[in-house]
Amino acid sequence: MQLTSTTLLKIQLYVTLIHLYTTLPLIGFGEGSGRTIRTRRTTASSRRKWRIYGKQQPPPLNIGQVRLSPPPSAIRRRSLLLLCSSSSLLSEMNSSANEGLYPLHRSKTIHLVRHAQGIHNVAGEKDHSAYMSEELFDAHLTPLGWQQVDNLHKHVHATGLSKSVQLVVVSPLLRTMQTAVGAFGGEASANGIDVPPLMAENTGSSNRPAISSLNCPPFIAVELCREHLGVHPCDRRRSISEYKPMFPAIDFSLIENDGDVLWTPNTREKNEDVAARGVKFMKWLLTREEKEIAVVTHSGFLYHTLAEYGDDCHPTLKKEMSKHFNNCELRSVVIVDRGMIGSDTSKTDFSGKIPSGADVPSDAV
């Protein structure tokens, strides 16, 4: 049976009424007692009486040909479970109403990537206290991490992402920039062509050749998508003046301070603050003119940011979004500018009447 939204609302209100009916005696209403709440109509001077039931039997609810009656007394105490179950059921029944339809130019495709395996990942998995080691400062990729990058690079080309991505946004730490240029950069240095490399040879003890920026999208470093700030040396960045010769073709112009003024040795950024920063970052993406963007960032940042989204989706989709990323994992999502944050105009819409003006009868032309 197809239930309308009005019918679903009636069912939910009735379930709530049953819940009140079974729990009110526990919060101060005596046996068989009831209360009358008077409310004034906004369009008339008359008053309407509403009765909240104590032990009195609430009336059945008629919905078309369906008649809902209160549960037998033997199961009235289970009404809280019924309420929770019904809410879940209503959510699933109403899931068909959760589809969203939005103008294409108000949306962007975002390819989210967690960096490949770094030396801090290996050390931290063996001993969590290793994250406090200064030896892991601005951790670089492991040899296995570079293999992961090579595999992602092949995937990016096989799926056509290398041609469709218009911008690569990267967290300004060594491991994320190595991952970004390795996955979305050129094959090797462009010999004989005067373009700056994305990465200089052997950057970060990589034992890798220089990576070309030829025929690649622009790369830009943004501090908003950094990992948890503070305490762990692996999450502290170098100065921008040190990074520039390592990654000559990455744009660092949006980073205001040469040194890392965001990282503090004694205070670790709270999860809710990371999430808030992530939401701010997503809003910043909506202000960009590019329609397809790759973001190379960190596990904690991705987890807490994505946890802020998907509450209006089916629980399975919410769970899918909330999973932790593996090293060098890529997931593609779509964000929609429902709040008119950006100012994009459609490049595919067609007005249907050119030139604009009053319609003219066909026989007058």
Q: Which amino acid is at 120?
A: H
pLDDT, residue 7, reads 62
Q: Which of 111, 120, 223, 227 is catalytic?
A: 227
Evaluated on CA atoms 143, 146, 150, 155, the torsion sign reads positive
Q: Which amino acid is at 128?
A: H
The dihedral region occupied by 64, where left means phi > 0, alpha psi between -120 and 50, and beta the remainder, is left
**DSSP strand E in the chain: where?**
35-40, 47-52, 61-63, 66-68, 107-114, 167-170, 219-221, 250-251, 292-297, 330-336
Q: For residue 194, what are its two tokens? A: 């005067």
Please state which of the four CATH numbers 3.30.70.120, 3.40.50.1240, 3.40.630.30, 1.20.210.10 is assigned to the domain occupying 104-336. Answer: 3.40.50.1240
pTM of the model: 0.72
Q: Is 227 a catalytic residue?
A: yes
What does the radius of gyration of the chain's CA atoms come to, in whole angstroms?
Answer: 29
Burial bucket for residue 304 (CB in 10 Å: 0-12, 13-18, 19+): buried
Q: For residue 136, what are its two tokens? A: 């892991």
How far apart CA 18 and CA 8 sit, in angstroms, is 15
pLDDT, residue 101, reads 86
CB atoms inside a 10 Å sphere around CB 339: 9
Q: Is 140 a catalytic residue?
A: no
Q: For residue 339, what are its two tokens? A: 């709040």
How far apart CA 124 and CA 10 sit, in angstroms, is 53
Q: What are the residue ranges spanned by the domains of the chain?
A: 5-98, 104-336
Whole-Å CA distances, 51 to 20, 29, 37, 223: 11, 13, 7, 57
Q: For residue 241, what are its two tokens? A: 């003046």
How far apart CA 150 and CA 183 sit, in angstroms, is 7
Q: Which of 19, 111, 115, 140 is catalytic?
A: 115
Quick one: three-class SS letters along 273-317? HHHHHHHHHHHHHHHCCCCEEEEEECHHHHHHHHCCCCCCCCHHH
How far apart CA 248 and CA 90 sit, in angstroms, is 55
Quick one: which of 105, 102, 103 has its CA closest to 343? 105
How far apart CA 160 and CA 151 sit, in angstroms, is 14
How far apart CA 32 and CA 126 sit, in angstroms, is 64
| Residue segments in the chain with a per-residue pLDDT below the cut of 70 | 1-98, 187-192, 353-365
Q: For residue 346, what are its two tokens? A: 């459609």
How far apart CA 7 and CA 14 sit, in angstroms, is 11
Strand order in the sheet with 250-251: 250-251, 219-221, 167-170, 292-297, 107-114, 330-336
pLDDT, residue 199, reads 97
CB atoms inside a 10 Å sphere around CB 333: 15
Helix or strand (DSSP H, E) at 246: helix 240-246
Whole-Å CA distances, 293 to 84, 110, 184, 192, 286: 40, 5, 11, 29, 10
